[in-house]
Amino acid sequence: MIEQLLAYGWWVAIAFIIVGFVALVKGADWLVDGASAIAKQFGISDLVIGLTVVAFGTSMPEFVVNMVSVAEGSTDLAITNILGSNIINTFVILGLTALVYPIASQKRSRDFDIPLSIIAGILVLLCVFLSERFQIGEPGVNRYGGIILLALFCYFLYNTFRHSKEHPEDVQNEETQPAKDIPTRRAIALMLGGLVGLVVGGELIVKSAVDLATRMGVSEAIIGLTIVALGTSLPELATSVIAAAKHNSDIAIGNVFGSNIFNVFFVLGTSATVRSLPAYEGLEIDACMAALGSIVVWLAIKTNHERKVQRWAGGLLLLIYASYLTYRLLNV
């Protein structure tokens, strides 16, 4: 059905992508609200709900797009969706947020989240290198690499829960919000509606993105790095910029690097475990950029006593991203 409608022209693909993003965002919101309400009814604390249900829910758009991409055989889209989202999260979201208002950082982010985000980008490169150099499994991010990424994700979850118990004030300072009181039937309906929205949105985006890439004569990788990655990052972008406008930009770093870690270790790890993801042309520079963004932010924080991402650093992040995007588009 979707393929038949796409035959009418490129404008249909654009329309489907927009509708798909709306379905993804609303689906994730409904799923989080419903699941959080059910969890609260079972006596689970708001802190645990925030660290699990809400955290997983914010990564659902990337997760669903990747699962559909893997099922459809669009493996380039699966990798670039993750690397592109991380690049946009760091360079664009933090860059724009810092321009609006300097971003304060928590000690946890400086000492653990940002370094782990740097490692995430390097690990993608390492997975590809080891698979090609020593012929460990299929070339690219294969199932062995996926299992390693998932194992590190389990360590991240363990460390996060341990830290939240030892330093609950850090979590409260960032983004924990009480779960909504919703009747059970409505909560279940929200969860089911959210799942439908996620699946439908994922199908529309992947099929339309592949069709658009074919019509434009560019690779799926470029579409994944730009349109798809930007779309799945829009909720974080809106949240961070609005918070900065209210001089409450502290949550931006926690949101961005938490999302980056989930994207690589959980979403990409799961995708590669389900189906090996071959390397594509330009993967090296994309993975390096994903790591570089975290390095720039870490250095920007360490160079001032206030431990903030200042406006000059926000401008630098945007300038680096513009240069990178120009290079990638001119070398397709």
Q: Which domains does the chain have, with CATH numbers?
A: 2-330 (1.20.1420.30)
The answer for residues whose C-beta is within 8 angstroms of residue 54's C-beta and 6 or more apart is 32, 36, 177
pLDDT at 135: 78
Give the pLDDT band (50/70/90) at residue 4: low
Q: How far apart are CA 198 and CA 98, in angstroms?
A: 31
Alpha-carbon distance values, 103 to 55, 100, 112, 234, 309 (Å): 21, 9, 17, 19, 5
Dihedral sign for Cα atoms in the order 271, 122, 128, 281? positive
pTM given for the model = 0.85
Dihedral sign for Cα atoms in the order 291, 297, 300, 305? negative
DSSP state of 264: I
- Compare 308 and 44 and report the one with higher pLDDT: 308
Residue with token string 């946009």: 88
pLDDT at 46: 62
Q: Which of 269, 250, 238, 215 lies closest to 108, judged by CA?
A: 250
Query: Cβ of 62: how many Cβ atoms within 10 Å?
Result: 29
Residue with token string 């990638």: 328
Q: Residue 19 in 3-state DSSP?
A: helix
> 188-219 pLDDT, tens per residue?
898 899 888 888 888 888 888 888 877 877 78
Q: In the chain, pLDDT over 70 holds for what percent of residues?
A: 89
Contact 280, 82 (CB under 8 A): no
Q: How far apart are CA 155 and CA 142, in angstroms?
A: 20
Q: How far apart are CA 307 and CA 36, in angstroms?
A: 33
The answer for residues whose C-beta is within 8 angstroms of residue 322's C-beta and 6 or more apart is none
Helix extents (H) in the chain: 2-6, 10-41, 46-49, 55-58, 60-72, 75-87, 94-100, 107-108, 114-133, 143-166, 168-174, 184-216, 220-223, 229-245, 251-261, 269-274, 283-302, 311-330
